Amino acid sequence: MRALLATARGAALEAAADRRALASQALAMAVNDGVWIVFWVLFFDRAGDLRGWDLDGIILLQAVLTTSGGIALGLVANARRIGTLIVDGGLDPVLALPASPLGLLLLRRIEPVNLGDFAFGVTLFAVAGHPTPSRTLLFGAVVAASATLLTGFLVLTGSLAFFAGRGESGELGFHAMVLLGSYPVDVFAGTAKVLAYTVVPAAFVSTVPARVIMDFDSGQALLLLTAASTVALAAAAVFRAGLRRYTSGAVWTRA
Amino acid sequence: MTAAERRAVRVAFAIAARRTLADPGGLVVSGVFYLIVVSALSAVWRVAADANGGALVGYSAAALTWYIATSESVTISLNIRMIGDLGEDIGSGVVAVELLRPASVLWIRVASELGRAAARLVVIGPAGVGVAALTVGRPPSWPAVALAVPAMALALTANVIAQHAFAASAFWLRNATTAWFLYQKLVFVLGGMLIPLEVFPGWLEAVARALPFQAMAYAPARIAAGHAEPLLLVGQMAWIAGLALAARAVFRMGERRLQVVGG
Amino acid sequence: MAIEVRALTKTFTTGRRRTRRTVEAVRGISFSVEPGERLAYIGPNGAGKSTSIKILTGILHPTSGDATVLGIVPWEQRKRLAARIGTLFGQRSLLWAELSSRQSYRMLAAIYGLSRDEERARVGELGELLDAADLMDQPVRTLSLGQRMRCELAAFLLHRPEVLFLDEPTIGLDLLAKQRFRELLVRINEEQGTTVFLTSHDVADIEHVAERAIVINHGTVIHDAPVAAMRRTLLATKLIEVGLDDHAPIEVPALPGVTVVERTDLALRLVVDTTTTSVRTVLDALLTGTTTTDISVVDPPLEQVIAEIYERPAS
């Protein structure tokens, strides 16, 4: 535990080392996210209703998505790089230390750019999400679940590199999650909708959390918690199993 | 450009295209990415159209699907790291070395990126036709789709040239990431990639039409959605000429700066 | 026994379906290392050195065979072992680039469970030993390679490891820095009884650090002997370099134990196995009946001895 905290502290110090770069990159990302809100404002100006979702609902959706995205990509930045790290032997440094490799790996790196996402999401909720005390509490809780699920998913898809030898699966998985998670799942038909709840569980990253905030339903909340813990546990298990097959970037295994 | 330079440019295009086609993994990844984006985004617009009595600002649900399939195809075919890589190459001195060669750095790079994008489009294009046809059936007009093909080529050209002009800010700024984010958003929104220009409130629509970004996504998308308007292509060609001049000018200035300041 | 290895094997398979190949990186390697030994594990690139060391440090799981380090099976109890050994891989840094070394030590101390007092004392001690005390507060990224290496060493030794595993640690260092590094390794071993296990393809590392050398190639042990013994082999061969007169033909003396290494119009190089034929005999044969412009008799470099050993099949 001390080890993990120390590592997280190190990552934070490193990220803060160049404060100007940190600020400008984070700002750029925040502006980036802001444009999506512009899109939705323009959209709802003409369209009015999206299968029961209105601008307020979409704003909650985006707030959860960007905040939890900011955590999964910004605070535990190595989650999305696990595939590459595995293939290039990047796990060696953490394996040489007497602590849990996955924990160390995840906490080791903070990506300033995505901290902008986090800041944006939190601000969006504060400004346009009608932050009553109960809603704020719910927001915190669902973001935690959503971020856990997203991180777990990234680790899971990235860990496939242990078995497949190539590292791109993580990136593809991540993009798929973000793309599908940017829209309320109710917009999709049939197979796409099923996909968004299972193989690429983007529904749990944004739609379900937003629903829980708007209209608290214990069934949905439980579903969210179950999904998040399942993915997280599966990720840890797959990673552990994969370590046995780690090749540490050995040249012969390059395709 | 001399004949030799023109040849170098053609060769750069061909090599990039061939190399991209020889990497099936990369093509599959782009393809899957594209399919996900188009399915999700077009679904959103279809739902909006249906909720609005079948059409939105003159586009039917089917037309909107073909619109999105096209607008996304010309953006996803492009190398997402184009501006970042170019910025890095400028900052690290790679471009400074390239400038010593007797060939146009700018146009060779543009040709390479176009080759790459064209190769991707060869895969993504049919995928787009497929997904659109499967989702909403035949396009509003097959002749219009045929006209959209050259429009897509022009759109790619305009986009690549503009990105190079934009990335040239790295001659002065040392960090092209901010330039890239800004650029992306401009194309996504004002270029009509995410949203047909007709959806914008009047004043914004006018602004968007006056900017070069609409040539990069809106033009071919509108045509594919059933509006075979040749004037759009004329506009694209005009913008390509303008952007080419701008890119060349900025690169010349950058070159001069390198000679003064050093690599 | 500090390290014990028995019939260790590691096979890698390349990923692609159609071109699936298996590569035996390490094949049936066996050896043991006493505590306090200084061992060099040498071989050409691709010989299996890095693979072996990664198995011994618990990073890789072997395909078959046994190994224990300090009585612990590395890949089964990696964390327990990691607390008692030090690993330094040439291209991978233990330090955080943007931070100062001292900040990295703080983090590592927490990871290794050192108290603040222990950490402070140890960092001070290492600062003196490595002459790095004034480097520790600068961001690592601003240090020169040699300076960074000293700070890395401190990180490496922070938790008083009993066995040190170093994989190509002197790569990229200039001659002076290499020398200092080697001196430090020997000193640490002598003062603290730490076992040193070093992989390298730099022969000078063997000459100046190791007491014993294990030579591996193609995944198997080719030679395992004290370095002093290897030097003796050296004395048994001599290199004769002859400058020739362009116009006269030369006849190489057909004597046993004499091999022609190189022959051009102007030069001739012979290797003489002095246990078979004496240098004197060869020289006599060369000087009569041929026109030579120059002759020199030298010891072949250790490099060549090693290279020759590489070529031998497994002993």
For the cut 70, the answer to whether the pLDDT of residue C160 exceeds it is: yes
CA dist list (Å): C199 to B177, B208, C81, C105: 42, 64, 19, 25
Q: What angle do CA B216, B220, B226 make, to 5 degrees?
A: 155
CA dist list (Å): B206 to A34, A47, B51, B202: 22, 20, 27, 6
For the cut 50, the answer to whether the pLDDT of residue C315 exceeds it is: no
Residues of A with Cβ-Cβ distance to C61 under 8 angstroms: 244-246
For the cut 90, the answer to whether the pLDDT of residue C66 exceeds it is: yes
| Interface pTM, i.e. ipTM | 0.82
- The residues in B 125-164 lying below 8 A from A, measured between CB atoms, are none
Mean pLDDT of B103-120: 90
Mean pLDDT of C192-199: 92
- pLDDT top residue among C8 and C306: C8
Residues in chain A: 255
Residue C198: predicted pLDDT: 92
Contacts of residue C232, Cβ cutoff 8 Å, sequence gap at least 6: none
Q: What angle do CA A207, A212, A214 make, to 5 degrees?
A: 95
Q: Which of B83-92, C60-69, C102-111 has the lowest mean pLDDT?
A: B83-92
| Among the partner residues A47, A113, A172, nearest to B48 by beta-carbon distance | A47
Inspect the interface and report whether the beta carbons of A244 and C61 lie closer than 8 Å.
yes
Residue A61: predicted pLDDT: 95
Question: pTM to 2 decimals?
Answer: 0.81
Mean pLDDT of C272-300: 80
Structural domains in chain C? 3-231 (3.40.50.300), 236-311 (3.30.70)
Contacts of residue C60, Cβ cutoff 8 Å, sequence gap at least 6: A246, A247, A248, C10, C51, C54, C75
| Among the partner residues C13, C92, C98, nearest to A92 by beta-carbon distance | C92
Inspect the interface and report whether the beta carbons of C61 and A10 lie closer than 8 Å.
no
Inspect the interface and report whether the beta carbons of B189 and A39 lie closer than 8 Å.
yes
Inspect the interface and report whether the beta carbons of A164 and C15 lie closer than 8 Å.
yes
Residue C307: predicted pLDDT: 72
The answer, for A98 touching chain C at a CB cutoff of 8 Å, is: yes
Q: Which residue of B has its CA nearest to A54?
A: B48
Residues of A with Cβ-Cβ distance to B44 under 8 angstroms: 43, 50, 183, 187
Three-class DSSP category at C210: coil
User: What whole-number distance in Å separates Cα of residue C267 and Cα of residue C262?
Assistant: 8
For the cut 90, the answer to whether the pLDDT of residue B237 exceeds it is: yes
User: What whole-number distance in Å separates Cα of residue A177 and Cα of residue A200?
Assistant: 6
Provide long-range contacts, Cβ within 8 A and 24+ apart, for A229-236. Answer: A229/A148, A231/A148, A231/A149, A231/A152, A231/A153, A231/A156, A231/A201, A232/A148, A232/A149, A232/A151, A232/A152, A233/A152, A234/A152, A234/A156, A235/A151, A235/A152, A235/A153, A235/A155, A235/A156, A235/A159, A236/A102, A236/A152, A236/A155
Whether B196 and B67 have beta carbons less than 8 Å apart is answered as: yes
Inspect the interface and report whether the beta carbons of A13 and C103 lie closer than 8 Å.
yes
> In chain B, how many domains are there?
1
What is Dmax (Cα atoms) for chain B?
Answer: 63
Query: Which alpha helices (DSSP H) does chain C contain, by range?
Result: 49-56, 78-82, 101-112, 116-130, 145-157, 175-192, 203-209, 227-235, 279-287, 302-311
Residues of A with Cβ-Cβ distance to B48 under 8 angstroms: 43, 46-47, 50
Residue B114: predicted pLDDT: 95
The answer, for A22 touching chain C at a CB cutoff of 8 Å, is: no
For the cut 60, the answer to whether the pLDDT of residue B262 exceeds it is: no
Show the tokens assigned to C197.
Answer: 């296990």
For the cut 80, the answer to whether the pLDDT of residue B17 exceeds it is: yes
| Among the partner residues C15, C21, C83, nearest to A98 by beta-carbon distance | C83
Dihedral Cα C76, C77, C79, C84, nearest 10 deg: -130
Whether B and C touch (3+ CB pairs < 8 Å), yes or no: no
- Decide: residue C102, CB within 10 A, 0-12 exposed, 13-18 middle, 19+ buried: middle
Whether A107 and A11 have beta carbons less than 8 Å apart is answered as: yes
- Decide: residue C207, CB within 10 A, 0-12 exposed, 13-18 middle, 19+ buried: middle
For the cut 70, the answer to whether the pLDDT of residue C94 exceeds it is: yes
Residue C171: predicted pLDDT: 80
User: What whole-number distance in Å separates Cα of residue C198 and Cα of residue C41?
Assistant: 6
Q: To the nearest 5 percent, what fractions of chain B are helix, strand and coil?
A: 80, 0, 20
Residue with tokens 């190949």: C21
CA dist list (Å): C82 to A85, A240, C30, C188: 20, 17, 22, 19
Residues of A with Cβ-Cβ distance to C15 under 8 angstroms: 164-166, 253, 255
Inspect the interface and report whether the beta carbons of A175 and B33 lie closer than 8 Å.
yes
Whether B40 and A180 have beta carbons less than 8 Å apart is answered as: yes
- What pairing do the DSSP bridges indicate for beta strands C237-244 and C220-226? unpaired
Average of per-residue pLDDT values in chain C: 84
**Residue C257: alpha-carbon gap to chain centroid:** 30
Residue C175: predicted pLDDT: 84
- pLDDT top residue among C93 and A242: A242
Q: Quick one: pLDDT band at residue C16, thresholds 50, 70, 90?
A: low
The answer, for C113 touching chain A at a CB cutoff of 8 Å, is: yes
- The residues in C 53-72 lying below 8 A from A, measured between CB atoms, are 54, 57-61
Three-class DSSP category at A231: helix
Tell me the CA end-to-end span of chain A in Å, nearest whole number: 38
Mean pLDDT of C36-63: 88
Range(s) of the domain holding residue B186: 3-261
Low-confidence ranges of chain A (pLDDT < 70): 167-169, 250-255
Contacts of residue A191, Cβ cutoff 8 Å, sequence gap at least 6: none
Q: Which residue of B has its CA nearest to A193?
A: B40
Q: Which residues of A fall below an 8 Å CB-CB distance to B?
A: 21, 24-25, 28-29, 31-32, 35, 38-39, 42-43, 45-51, 113, 166, 168, 171-172, 175-176, 179-180, 182-183, 187-189, 192
Inspect the interface and report whether the beta carbons of A165 and C106 lie closer than 8 Å.
no
Tell me the CA end-to-end span of chain C in Å, nearest whole number: 23
Whether B178 and B166 have beta carbons less than 8 Å apart is answered as: no
- The residues in B 197-216 lying below 8 A from A, measured between CB atoms, are 199-201, 204
Gap from A91 CA to chain C (nearest CA, Å): 9
Residue with tokens 């040193």: C196
User: What whole-number distance in Å separates Cα of residue A224 and Cα of residue C219?
Assistant: 51
Q: Which residue of B has its CA nearest to A195?
A: B36
Show the tokens assigned to C225.
Answer: 């002997």
Residue B104: predicted pLDDT: 79
pLDDT tens, position by position, A58-70: 999 999 999 999 9
Q: Quick one: pLDDT band at residue C55, thresholds 50, 70, 90?
A: very high
Core vs surface per residue B19-45: b (16+ CB within 10 A) or e: ebbeeeebbebbbebbbbbbbbbbbbb
Query: Which amino acid type is present at position C314?
Result: A
For the cut 70, the answer to whether the pLDDT of residue B155 exceeds it is: yes
For the cut 70, the answer to whether the pLDDT of residue C314 exceeds it is: no
User: What whole-number distance in Å separates Cα of residue C61 and Cα of residue C90?
Assistant: 21
Residue A45: predicted pLDDT: 87
Core vs surface per residue A206-239: b (16+ CB within 10 A) or e: bbbbbbbbbeeeeebbebbbebbeebbeebbebb
Q: Which helix (H) or strand (E) holds C240?
A: strand C237-244
Mean pLDDT of C65-87: 92
- Report the 10 Å Cβ neighbour count for C266: 12
Q: Please tell me the number of Cα atoms within 13 Å of B179 on its side-chain side.
A: 23
Inter-chain contacts counted by CB atoms under 8 A, chains A and B: 87
Whether B235 and B197 have beta carbons less than 8 Å apart is answered as: no
User: What whole-number distance in Å separates Cα of residue A235 and Cα of residue C279?
Assistant: 69
Residue A255: predicted pLDDT: 38
What is Dmax (Cα atoms) for chain C?
Answer: 79
Beta bridge pairs of residue C292: C244
